[in-house]
Amino acid sequence: METKINFNYGVKMDKACNRDEIRPAQNYVHFKGGFAYATDAHCAVKNYLHEICNLSEEQLALLDGKFLHYDKFAKVRTYHSITVTEKGIQGLSSKGIKGGFFAFYDGDDELKYPDIDALIKNNQSAKCEEGCEHGINKIQIDSQIYMTFVQAFATKDVIYNFKGQKTPIICTPKDPRWDKSIGVIMPQLISD
């Protein structure tokens, strides 16, 4: 049997994308600098491509700077293998028969993707909120947002770094083999 060449089927980055047209850039998985990004403004994932797929260096280079709509990303994952081109991703059956072709975003409007790297950088070095030096005794997370994050992140064994009830939660893999992927979950305000 031919080796499967695709994204890890269990990493459902499409689930972390926004589903409305208010923020159209968030309807896409964005490939940049060797990473795949997805966000719905409540959680964000930055998965290192070498940790979530087995594409060649040449194919990874073709992904750089591209945007793939969340529904297309979901369909791409269903194929046995894929081939990346300048225009999109070609799905292939286990026998090498061409399936669907999934074009990258090619609209006239430049997509303004959120700066997830800046969000991560600013919150990794953030100090604990006043009063939380001895630990946080409560934090509220929407269970749907948490499940979205779990489905979209590169690994399921995660360390959650809390710095306060109003500060984004920085999520890093527990296993050092997955050390480049990182995520963010936005907590909900707790009303007393």
Position 12 scores a pLDDT of: 95
pLDDT at residue 179 in the model: 83
Distance (Å, whole) CA 108 – CA 18: 20
Which residue spans within 40-151 are E strands per DSSP? 43-48, 67-69, 81-84, 88-92, 98-103
Place of tokens 């990182």: 182
Percent of the chain with pLDDT over 90: 57
pLDDT, residue 31, reads 96
Separation in Å, CA 122 to CA 16, 113, 126, 167, 169: 21, 17, 6, 10, 12
Domains within the chain, CATH numbers bracketed: 13-106+113-185 (3.10.150)
The span from the CA of 101 to the CA of 92, in Å, is 9
- When pLDDT is averaged across residues 53-60 and rounded to a whole number, the result is 94
Rounded CA separation 141/178 (Å): 24
Q: Is the pLDDT of residue 46 over 90?
A: yes
Percent of the chain with pLDDT over 70: 91
Kindly tell me the burial class for residue 60, based on how many C-beta atoms sit within 10 Å of its own C-beta (0-12, 13-18, 19 or more). middle
**Residue-level pLDDT at 176:** 85
pLDDT at 17: 96
Burial class (CB in 10 A: 0-12, 13-18, 19+), 75: middle
Banded pLDDT at 1 (limits 50, 70, 90): very low
